[in-house]
Amino acid sequence: MSAPSRPFDVEAIRADFPILDRMMDPDTPMIYLDGGATSQRPRQVIDAEVAYLTRDNAAVKRGAHRMAAAATDAYEGSRKRVADFLGAPSAEEIVFTKNATEALNLVAYCLGNGDASTPAHLRVREGDEILVTEMEHHANLVPWQELARRTGATLRWIPMAEDFTLDLTDLDSLITERTKVVAFTHQSNVLGTINPVSRLVEAARAVGALTVLDAAQSVPHMPVDVASLGVDFVALSGHKMLGPTGIGVLWGRYEHLAALPPFLTGGSMIEVVHLDHSTYAEPPARFEAGTPPISQAVGLAAACDYLDALGMENVAEHERVLTDQALRGLADLDGVRVFGPAAGPGRAGAVSFELEGRHPHDVGQVLDSLGIQARVGHHCAWPLHRRFALHGTTRASFSVHTTTAEVEAFVTGVARTAEFFGSLS
């Protein structure tokens, strides 16, 4: 990551996002508080993708003509840019995927698909154990369920504590000599909980287990340096970090990627093909079968440029202020219960709550009538909601363009929602 190159001026930032001018009704401005699901894109990202499509669009790596060379340069240059943003030691450790879900599935599938030529520490087999957490997004739970089912491994999980953090009391008994993988989220998409990566990595390393980090919610909102985290794999999505949909990233230690079997097979990931057998390219090409998301990679690189220009420390501080404001405001409202840790260094900008006696979908509809775009449901984290006996929650998630006035409008909107339902009782 580079040093910030522009002031963190929220009004100037908002001017970069064309969609923020939208009116939901003639007299109702749009307040977008759903960046945790999909972020909006600044002009710089949109323009970068359009410029590629209108000037250099061609298939990469497959032609000797100048257009193919330009497209390849754009694609591989984007890989280098993403690697720099994440602090990856090498661009060859960056695999472009469809999203974080595909990146996590890639790791889970490959760890169960090795043969005798695959190193033992990269093969999950019957009798092994896979450890996840009770707060995981389904994308970092279901692939491990499937891996356990296919291989006969045992799936275990770290429980949630009452304060909405992981209960690490029995961590030494949960991570055993049989543990092969520890997969966990960096930041909960529901609670805003920031998990203790170093402690979990240390415990996993002590038994030789691999660590897989779901960073879809953390990379857009705080400085993340994959080399210093100590994990083995990191997954993230472009559309949550001001970039395009249809592109994600898997970062993996090169020695792991080079030893794993492929996930998808076909064109572009091969070395030599015969009728009866094939050999496979070195990473990252081995894991990028078919035509890749080229324009999306260009857009993602532009998103990295944009965030770096703002400074990720500044982004994190901006969202901390907004989160503290929202938590204080909601705490003053009767019948509103917030789920997540108290404000502080272990808390980030996803604020989920319930309105007593009301279904979150009803709450979301009233907020929508006020122009407030918030998320409702179980947020692809059903076990977490079941742990706290919830059918679902309403979630506001903040971004670089969110203002204190919008957070104030959100808190006022929740209060008006409570009053509306109270008048019906």
Catalytic residue numbers, as ranges: 380
C-alpha to C-alpha distance for 288 and 262, rounded to whole angstroms: 9
C-alpha to C-alpha distance for 200 and 193, rounded to whole angstroms: 15
Per 3-state DSSP, the chain is made up of helix, strand and coil in percentages (nearest 5) of 40, 20, 40
366: number of Cβ within 10 Å:
20
First to last CA, the chain: 53
Q: Closest Cα to residue 162, out of 410, 342, 298, 366?
A: 342
Size of the chain, expressed as the number of residues it contains: 425
Give the strand pairing for 393-397 and 350-355: antiparallel
**Whether the Cβ atoms of residue 194 and residue 187 lie closer than 8 Å to each other:** yes
Extract the runs of DSSP E, i.e. beta strands, from 303-408: 336-339, 350-355, 372-373, 375-377, 393-397
C-alpha to C-alpha distance for 125 and 120, rounded to whole angstroms: 9
**Whether the Cβ atoms of residue 280 and residue 258 lie closer than 8 Å to each other:** no
DSSP 63: -
356: number of Cβ within 10 Å:
10
Residue with tokens 């991570």: 175
DSSP 298: H
**Whether the Cβ atoms of residue 184 and residue 213 lie closer than 8 Å to each other:** yes
C-alpha to C-alpha distance for 372 and 146, rounded to whole angstroms: 37
341: number of Cβ within 10 Å:
20
Residue 142 exposed, middle or buried by CB count within 10 Å (0-12, 13-18, 19+) = middle
CA distances (Å), origin 234, targets 14, 87, 327, 412: 30, 12, 30, 38
Partners of residue 237 on adjacent β-strands? 248
Peptide bond into 42 cis (omega under 30): no
Q: Closest Cα to residue 99, out of 8, 216, 197?
A: 216
